[in-house]
Structure 1
Amino acid sequence: MTARRRPDRRPGRDRGSFTAELAAGLPALTLLLLAGLTAVTAVTTHLQCVDAAREGALAAGRGDGGAAAAHRIAPPGATVAEGGGGDTVTMSVRAPVKVLGARLPRITVDAAATAAREPDGAGTVP
């Protein structure tokens, strides 16, 4: 049995269409991949800042060095600030996130945690 060709379907008519579609879609796919990787990096850095702020606030509430405890856990390049007064202490951690791309601006994430000051041996809050 012989296959009949349709008159509107000539061989080779669709040649190169995949290459054109790939050339148009590849930059968009690359941009989407870079945005996704940057988002994952930003979330990871934010979680590190949250952990560092919590640890620093708890250490400062106990009367230990809160900023030193926060710096140990904070991501590279992070800045730590201690505040609060009276019965509480607040620790803020701020860190830049590298964006995957040479000429793009940096993103900065931050986190803060507050802890109650624990009383000293005499029962007073320092």
Structure 2
Amino acid sequence: MEEDRNKDVHTENAPHHGDDEHHSFIGHDLDSKRNEEYAQEFTADNLRDSDIPEDDANPGTFYGWAGIALALISFFVWPIILGAASIIFGFVARSRDVDTLGNIAIGLGAISMIIALFIIPFLF
């Protein structure tokens, strides 16, 4: 019975703010700073995976490295075909904002094709 009296005392001594709109907040201080909104805006930018660095997330890096690999292989096998493929991959990489790798792939592919077309035929 004493417990019932203590409950009544706590609710009777609760601060009253003039409006009876907040019946569920009886006994709580509505002017407290802790009752502010805790939510924040959530957008698709917040879904970015933090494990992958942004520099490695660009899919154009694959085309850049593949173009360089094709260009290096073209110095030994099928220089015209693989050199042309490395040039194409280089332009694709440049269109995806990976300028350095794209330029290297284009340059090496062009050098491989020039050597195959103009230098090697005159050596033998």
TM-score (norm 2): 0.39
TM-score (norm 1): 0.38
Higher strand share: 1
Give the structure with higher Rg (CA): 2
